[in-house]
Chain A
């Protein structure tokens, strides 16, 4: 590799994490450690009804009987769950208007570029910001309410719409689904709840911004999106965390349920702190995301750009139960330095004529390992189902690894499942072509990588696409080996 390219690569890979600041804000935390009392305390602090406490305790008991999954191609140092603080919140709560929000906090979100303030009206994005464990501000609530759309923090929803929560909570991700889902179900602090009523097309993008701030805390939020018949919503999620030397755990759950003819588009730009060059610090991102296409002709689409986190363990999935339902998964996962990612998607075809698409683009640089792990399962009754999967890996540097584990199980004769994957490095021809046209090595790489990821980036909403492209460029500056 030409020296110039190496320099470019180094420059990119050495780019510092720019969201690594800490907000000095008065926090209310509970003592660290995890036991039934802590679960009860969290529930009590949130003034939850009895059914929620039971849900949590049930999950906690199941979690105690589970072992941490070890099948991922990941090297996860042992996690001491007793050393984690399970609840941290900014002290002043329940703000009615922006004026009442701690200016320090607003400042934080401004720094992050989160449209909490009116100026962001122009952006037309309704935001629910979750700071450590608690939702601090949800914008545009009133205007959404006019259309009957519910968009609020999870704790508010538990109080105000207990019936809806009771009906849908745990329907896509049962509280004993997996180790981290059970943990989340036991101790989750807050998150967002969205309900789109029948026939409503949500006029703006809804967005949650997650920020871990306090030290030694884990973040356990939970998002529940219910799209009733013939409705539509596009939902965005972003996340950042301060730079700290110790690892922090983020174990979230996202559940999506779509009824007949409904569609939900869920986009994530995940940029948790990835740790330093030597792999010190960073977030463990162990997330369970699952969509349940319950109704006929319903559709759930996951788009994710994963650039952060020390370790990523997540498999956004779709349960295609309704006939003719559609599941989509578009992903760009970038790992650099010592990052590890084991991510992919599961598409479970249960209804007739169900369709799914998986496009996964992995980019690994430095000494990182990036794995795609996916499952396409077509059950016996899912006749005429169709899946197309493409997962490509790009290797940058001779010390990184790229792995692909696709599982395909087909149980009927009328379905078609296709899988294809390639692994290669940026070809010298492509680089030469770009450089010949006057681009320097770095710009060439950026161009090629962006082109490589284009298929996925195109699926992102406009505001996100711009951010994601920048993020991709930052994550990879100079990453050609």
Chain B
């Protein structure tokens, strides 16, 4: 155990692990807890954590909330409803880490799609869960992952059978609303069958400004020819900590598009591990982060090219204001057998103040010779010439800056292929840039306003 034995939460976690083992849940959790104990909480001496310091948070007095069986919907109806116009989804909610259901913890659609509580699915659909669960999770990646493997038993399970196209997006809202300072684990498992298609929207939201610590691990299995359109929308309170680790495995000819949009994030770390395991797999990994105050956003992306003829493209963009800080750590690993690889990586940042800071490390590790890999990273400001051009045309300084920032962010937003989600995200980003959007009290998609956001510009005069 590393020098973080002192954290108050640790004893509680040790107790919890003992209690939790008694549940009739999947195996391996005991080992995972040992792995956590040997690794400890991640600390700044670790190369991958040098920019994110958890110690300040871990010293707080969190209350560990054990995963429970699914709870009925009535308890939370008053707190949450999503109102994106025309955004029809299969909506599922995790409330303080507990799965909330309407009629039954497991829903089976006509086309064979199974959606529901992972905990319940382990019992009722063991044959669907067992072959995939924890197959991708790497407990040795860091202490947070192994801690999650040890303690998290609640979360969402989605199974899309072969050749099924899920018409409506599946939306998971991960919400924290409690007057305690919760320390929560959650685990999601998503399996997309051969040639099946799924759109999955993951929203992380906190309702009140309690200190909270959320540790989520998600596994995504994309079988041959599968397509997954994945969105992570994050709008968190300043005092919240969210550690989000996603493991993806892409089999032959499967396609992944994942989009991480962070509008507000107390302290957010997104770690994305994409394994391109089958020939011809393609992954687009996009990210947008807008941070101000003392927010900290850390995006870690590891793409492993394990097979030939794969394609990966990463684009992460960020705007940092006030004393916000951001880190981007991209890593493309091309294995010797992954010939004909195309891999691209790009990270662009705009710093608006002298107190904002960014650390970026686009890293390439290449062991095959017939590859095309490139990476780029920039840190800078709004283009003076472009600003001048706009101002010359009668747009005030503030609006001109907004427009340029919006254009900068639009590069990511335009990859959102659900029209209603695209529009509302676009609206939220412009609102966010104007400083009108803080972590809202409703769903992450702050969409109660009927009137779309507009820049104060008479476009006819341009």
Name A387's closest neighbour in chain B (CB-CB).
Answer: B379
Residues of chain B contacted by A380 (CB below 8 angstroms): 354-355
Q: How far is the CA of A92 from the CA of B66 in the complex (A)?
A: 79
Q: Does B357 contact A (CB under 8 A)?
A: yes
Q: How far is the CA of A408 from the CA of B376 in the complex (A)?
A: 11
Are A407 and B379 within 8 A (Cβ)? no
Q: How far is the CA of A402 from the CA of B375 in the complex (A)?
A: 13
Q: How far is the CA of A415 from the CA of B349 in the complex (A)?
A: 11
Q: Mark A393-430, 1 if CB is under 8 A from B, else 0.
A: 10111111111111111111111111111111100000
Are A399 and B336 within 8 A (Cβ)? yes
Are A403 and B379 within 8 A (Cβ)? no
Are B360 and A408 within 8 A (Cβ)? yes
Residues of chain A contacted by B128 (CB below 8 angstroms): none
Q: Does B366 contact A (CB under 8 A)?
A: yes
Looking at the assembled complex, report how far the CB atom of A5 sits from the nearest CB atom of chain B, in whole angstroms.
13
Per the 8 Å Cβ criterion, residues 329-388 of B in contact with A are: 336, 339, 349, 351-381
Are A423 and B370 within 8 A (Cβ)? no
Count residues of chain A with CB under 8 A from any CB of chain B: 38
Residues of chain B contacted by A71 (CB below 8 angstroms): 47
Q: Does A481 contact B (CB under 8 A)?
A: yes
Looking at the assembled complex, report how far the CB atom of B366 sits from the nearest CB atom of chain A, in whole angstroms.
5
Are A402 and B366 within 8 A (Cβ)? yes
Are B372 and A408 within 8 A (Cβ)? no
Q: Which of A410, A417, A481 has the most CB of B within 10 A?
A: A410
Residues of chain A contacted by B349 (CB below 8 angstroms): 410
Are B336 and A411 within 8 A (Cβ)? no
Q: How far is the CA of A98 from the CA of B371 in the complex (A)?
A: 54
Are A413 and B356 within 8 A (Cβ)? yes
Looking at the assembled complex, report how far the CB atom of B405 sits from the nearest CB atom of chain A, in whole angstroms.
13
Are A421 and B370 within 8 A (Cβ)? no
Residues of chain A contacted by B375 (CB below 8 angstroms): 404, 419-421
With beta carbons under 8 angstroms apart, the residue of B357, B373, B377 that contacts A422 is B373
Are A409 and B359 within 8 A (Cβ)? yes
With beta carbons under 8 angstroms apart, the residue of A73, A413, A425 that contacts B351 is A413
Q: Chain B interface mostly helix, strand, loop or mixed?
A: strand
Are B369 and A397 within 8 A (Cβ)? yes
Q: Mark A122-137, 1 if CB is under 8 A from B, else 0.
A: 0000000000000000
Per the 8 Å Cβ criterion, residues 150-177 of A in contact with B are: none
Residues of chain B contacted by A410 (CB below 8 angstroms): 349, 351, 357-359, 379
Are A398 and B379 within 8 A (Cβ)? no
Q: How far is the CA of A73 from the CA of B363 in the complex (A)?
A: 12
Looking at the assembled complex, report how far the CB atom of B395 sits from the nearest CB atom of chain A, in whole angstroms.
21
With beta carbons under 8 angstroms apart, the residue of B352, B366, B371, B374 that contacts A403 is B366
Are B366 and A401 within 8 A (Cβ)? yes
Are A420 and B369 within 8 A (Cβ)? no
Name A397's closest neighbour in chain B (CB-CB).
Answer: B369
Are B370 and A425 within 8 A (Cβ)? yes
Residues of chain A contacted by B371 (CB below 8 angstroms): 395, 423-425
Known contacts A417-B379, A423-B374: does B357 contact A409 (CB below 8 Å)? yes
Q: How far is the CA of A393 from the CA of B339 in the complex (A)?
A: 16
Are A408 and B374 within 8 A (Cβ)? no
Are B381 and A423 within 8 A (Cβ)? no
Q: How far is the CA of A443 from the CA of B182 in the complex (A)?
A: 68
Are A412 and B351 within 8 A (Cβ)? yes
Residues of chain B contacted by A422 (CB below 8 angstroms): 372-374
Name A423's closest neighbour in chain B (CB-CB).
Answer: B373
Are B364 and A424 within 8 A (Cβ)? no
Name B50's closest neighbour in chain A (CB-CB).
Answer: A407
Residues of chain A contacted by B47 (CB below 8 angstroms): 71
Q: How far is the CA of A400 from the CA of B369 in the complex (A)?
A: 7
Known contacts A409-B358, A410-B379, A423-B373: does B363 contact A398 (CB below 8 Å)? no
Q: Report B's interface with A, CB cutoff 8 A.
A: 47, 336, 339, 349, 351-381
* Given contact pairs A71-B47, A410-B349, a sample of 14 additional A-B residue pairs in the complex whose CB atoms are under 8 Å apart: A378-B379, A395-B366, A398-B368, A400-B369, A402-B364, A404-B363, A410-B379, A419-B362, A419-B375, A419-B377, A420-B376, A421-B374, A422-B373, A423-B373
Q: Report A's interface with B, CB cutoff 8 A.
A: 71, 73, 378, 380, 383, 393, 395-425, 481
16 CB contacts below 8 A, A to B, read A393-B364, A399-B336, A401-B365, A401-B367, A402-B366, A403-B365, A410-B351, A410-B357, A412-B351, A413-B354, A413-B381, A415-B379, A420-B377, A423-B366, A423-B374, A425-B370
